[in-house]
Structure 1
């Protein structure tokens, strides 16, 4: 589930009340991978992802309040959504979509066929993927050139290999080096989906594991 920064404290209070109380702690294998883990008295666990890595040290306010404050802070994000049906790129700030561009190319799905046909199909698919990656990079360059300032966050969504291909474009070197939000699961990239992503990129993703037994 996704919880807005403004609703996060209330969600945690309800989780704690439903499970007999909980303790919050920051866990991280690396600074950019930090999450807030809620460990409930009854054994239930909730993991809160940081939508805008890295998470600053919580200090006296505690992990949940620090996460809510950080997620809700003003931020300009570059949205890069790519799937086999096309790509959409946008510039968002504080949940609002400021600018956008799109690229329409089709990449065929994989096939289980073998032999020469499979090789020919794979070459065609690779070519289509390359065309889409270039078109998506072109769209991103247009959005970045029109931007009044540099974005502070990269929000990727859709197909991971296609996104990686787009970000290999030398023109997007600075964008690829930005702090990166967790990969967003999206429908076929369209303007409406892009507008939704502008709001969703502020939200804290929550994974809940019920108490064992």
Structure 2
């Protein structure tokens, strides 16, 4: 004899699903309140955007929970089932959002270690993982040994545009004749407006720094 009927098992699973959804909601709020990445002046707009999404997801879930309570009190199984379906669907969305937040925070933790890695390691990370954040660490230290690799990334049209943009930015910060020559070559081949603008800015930055050195 079965201890639980199929209907009871479904209800238990639905309840567990909603509880995980509510925990996911709390985790999402925690991430908003305690971000583990650099927070700029525009973070308030990011919070507003994310909160609006959270409300659009959480509100239908709470309506579903309310329908479950009302349906059980009035003995209306159809109303209860509608509430369960609604609560479960939006609980799933919250769970998926929280999973995305978890992996995003995990990536941020890994990227915090980039400043302690060697330039060669950072170049490998940028190329193998297509992670432009590795180039940010190179910009911070302005390592001239990275120039040949950065030039190669910039001039390689098969590379991701974001990676090429950050390479151009890095070359502009590091400076030097080799960097400027690569930027001049890249600007004639660029088919992306953001990349072109970054290259122009990088060239201007190199020229400005060279004038300041002469003075």
Structure with more of its chain in helix, by fraction: 2
- Provide the TM-score with structure 2 as the length reference: 0.20
- Provide the TM-score with structure 1 as the length reference: 0.21
In terms of Rg, which structure is larger?
A: 2
Q: Which has the higher contact order (CA 8 A, sep 6+)?
A: 1
Structure with more of its chain in strand, by fraction: 1
